[in-house]
Structure 1
């Protein structure tokens, strides 16, 4: 909304100057100037001077209102347009390859074959759909939580599986004896695509909606996809009669559009700049902070986030929300912690490798019911300190808390004071000592780390970590449990 002002703007309008009282915009596009009109009896009227032709205004307003969220570009994230460009390309490629796959499935069901029966085709279709339904339920049960945490990675996986499903459908007519099995396998892959693709699209839409307009962004995204599908339908209608079962043309088109589809999908998720932390983004930010004292920005961190699931940070795996008995085996184990009494988590390090510097293992964390997002970030920074000290032999001089972490590294690598370039074997007691030493370091560094995240624009009121639901309450002296009172 324009602030009221008594000043009038003087602009040059050709050979004469007129008093401009207001400039009218639609979104960010200027449409009209309102000028004081000296004509008429009062001489105080106003008239509009259009800055765009009527046709340009009508076409532009229609396209923007029909296919872009209201208030664009201020109502969406900065990466919205880049993402939608690549998403449009991948949707078109997917529709064309889907046309080829559908034609192959119909042929496999017996369309055009005089010996095929409607009953047989119906049973095959029902079994194919049934496999997909079962797959959707199982996949949502197993991976539902991780779809929010790794939306970009699962979006890419969904599109790879979509192309795999279409490949299976395309080859199914060549194996009539195994057509039902291949069709069910393709349907199973598509079921994962439906769950993962839909859920991750919702997560990306939530990220892009910056004015409480998630429904509008989702609706306009649907309109864009419908328009692309309509174009794909026209193209498919044109090329289908031209193919005429020519396998060379079919496979050439399929491979070409599939390659374009995969490239477009990779580029689409690569340009998304999430401003909330998941494990992968937290790992990038924490490792930079621990090694050189600086926190990367949102764009830099997202560009370094691995998009393929197999390339997610390895090393020591972090398990959040572990059961109490996976960390505490006896009452004496609680005495081994030097954590603050009111701490909201307990941590245990279990290493599975030998003396290799690149150790593997699990950091299991028991969580208190009152654990907060700040606690989750602090304990994850604690785990990152452990992982870093297990894998490096020397820290840069600019590293924060260098003295404390150097002492921890020396404890891990030195056995009885003898210096070695190879990590020594750590006992259970040694692992507990590593956890306790790194805890104080994390406590000291976290306020600086948290302030650095806020300064870089990260949203830290909530985190997208994959956390199990187990919660525990504990006390070294024992706790009183009222059987009639809910914990």
Structure 2
């Protein structure tokens, strides 16, 4: 007995486009009834525009997640807008400074030699390379904990580097020194900007799409670079031979560049805890029992280097300056060592850290087996102790009592408000210790 396969009078096949399940759009409908018929949906321009947009905005890591803008944090778009504007001003000014540098080297002059220009350029690049290595050695561990501040410092150093290039033709006798100084300044920019950008990319990525965000930022910067170079070449051509116009354009663009950078970092609402942000949320919790959101704290924290702020505004949020993480045991005096030994056997038996207070400064000695959570706990414990130093109380007993009763509540409220409590972003801790508490002695290695 033969069985006939079912026949359909009409078959419809739809074509959809999009990298996210919530951002799909129908582009075509194919019908077989009885002949093949294709009906396009939407205009060709809309389809092309969507494809172009996908090259510049980050999508989710897989098609089952939300696409842009849900694939990034809310502060991504305003930060990128200001960041691209400051980048545009940089590329325009770069044409002016490069023109001045080439003129100083002797491009276009018959008396200039190729070997002389090559040697000068080599010294300039060598200085920059050595400067980058030294800057990484001394400040590399601080870049994560103060990403906002170092982002601003990096662009300020870039401005100084371009200023040196622009000044180089004015002082022929000191040309090599000036261009090497400018290269050294820009080398700091390369290290600090790259490192802080990596930290910000991780912050923006909500759906494990950090690589996509980094790639799309490269596309955005490429477009900004091309536009900036075109405008820069036009400006360089117009201002050639007019020193006053060159300096006016350069200084005006530099002021806009720093303003755009400041606005960019002010847009950021980082959810990771560093010493200053921890101090702000802790002080507010001690007063009200509530925890501030990352957005609120971002408006209160310093983004400029601490020495640029007034003493009055600095004192409000400087409690974190009273804490020293990773104190070196051998640097303590006799009385402090006795205090440490006593504390190890009484107050901190279960903790992976020891605290020592002297003249309002609380030093944290971390155990060699301490984890990132222990570092965070020791820092908040030190803040509690620093808060008690002016109240003539037993700081060890009172601070431990607060930690036993309030610390877990505080951490839960931090998580509920959107903070990441897995670790504290702090400079690298180079010194640790080990203590063994027995019935008769307490020993520190």
- Mapped partners of 1:450, 1:294: distance in 2: 11
SS in 2 for 1:348: strand
Q: For residues 80-479 of structure 1, what are the structure 2 equivalents within 5 Å? A: 80-310=76-306, 311=309, 313-314=317-318, 316-327=321-332, 329=334, 332-337=338-343, 338-351=346-359, 362-390=361-389, 409-411=390-392, 433-477=394-438, 478=441
- Mapped partners of 2:342, 2:443: distance in 1: 22
SS in 1 for 2:302: coil
Normalising by structure 1, what TM-score?
0.77
Post-superposition Cα deviations, 1:102-131, rounded to whole Å, max 9, x if no partner, equal 111111212233333222222222222221
**Cα drift, residue 185 of structure 1:** 1.0
- Mapped partners of 2:28, 2:54: distance in 1: 24
- Mapped partners of 1:289, 1:21: distance in 2: 59
Asked whether the 8 Å contact 1:326–1:364 carries over to 2, the reply is no
**Cα drift, residue 305 of structure 1:** 1.6
SS in 1 for 2:436: coil
What is the alpha-carbon root mean square deviation over aligned residues?
Answer: 2.9
- Mapped partners of 1:368, 1:321: distance in 2: 9
Query: By percentage of residues, which structure has more helix?
Result: 2
Compare 193-202 and 272-281 and name the one that shifted more.
272-281
- Mapped partners of 1:474, 1:81: distance in 2: 50
SS in 1 for 2:144: helix
CA distance 1:32–1:379, change in 2 (3 Å): same
Normalising by structure 2, what TM-score?
0.84
SS in 2 for 1:462: strand
- Mapped partners of 1:366, 1:335: distance in 2: 12
- Mapped partners of 1:306, 1:22: distance in 2: 54
CA distance 1:384–1:194, change in 2 (3 Å): same
Unaligned runs of 5+ in 1: 1-19, 352-360, 391-408, 413-432, 482-486
Compare 364-373 and 279-288 and name the one that shifted more.
364-373
Unaligned runs of 5+ in 2: 1-11, 61-67
- What does residue 32 of structure 1 align with? 26
**Cα drift, residue 41 of structure 1:** 6.4
- Mapped partners of 1:381, 1:300: distance in 2: 20
- What does residue 57 of structure 1 align with? 47
CA distance 1:301–1:46, change in 2 (3 Å): farther
- What does residue 66 of structure 1 align with? 55
Tell me the number of residue pairs that the alignment of Structure 1 and Structure 2 aligns. Answer: 411
CA distance 1:317–1:126, change in 2 (3 Å): farther
CA distance 1:122–1:362, change in 2 (3 Å): farther
- Mapped partners of 2:370, 2:433: distance in 1: 10
CA distance 1:307–1:173, change in 2 (3 Å): same
- Mapped partners of 1:328, 1:475: distance in 2: 20
- Mapped partners of 1:272, 1:157: distance in 2: 16
- Mapped partners of 2:363, 2:89: distance in 1: 44
SS in 2 for 1:148: coil
